[in-house]
């Protein structure tokens, strides 16, 4: 949607903001892996923000190269 902003739009993050975002990313990846999905193309371009705020929840995009694994 129109609110999805690429992580790349927010190039300068404080250490605290980066830690929060990294923890969210690890939770998203764990959820994917728990469901047997391996993303296989993780890069800043594929990490989206739900809103324009730096504190926005993240969303992972572009699962074209994803594959299923046995959890």
Enzyme catalytic residues: 41
Query: Closest Cα to residue 20, out of 51, 61, 57?
Result: 57
- Whether 13 and 22 have beta carbons less than 8 Å apart is answered as no
Secondary structure class of 56 (helix, strand, coil): coil
Non-local (6+) Cβ contacts of 13 within 8 A are 21, 54
């Amino acid at each position: 949607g129109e609110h999805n902003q690429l992580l790349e739009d927010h190039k300068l993050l404080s250490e605290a903001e980066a830690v929060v975002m990294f923890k969210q990313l690890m939770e998203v990846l764990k959820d994917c892996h728990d469901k047997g999905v391996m993303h296989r193309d993780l890069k800043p371009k594929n990490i989206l923000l739900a809103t324009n705020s730096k504190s926005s929840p993240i969303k992972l995009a572009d699962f074209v190269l994803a594959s299923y694994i046995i959890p």
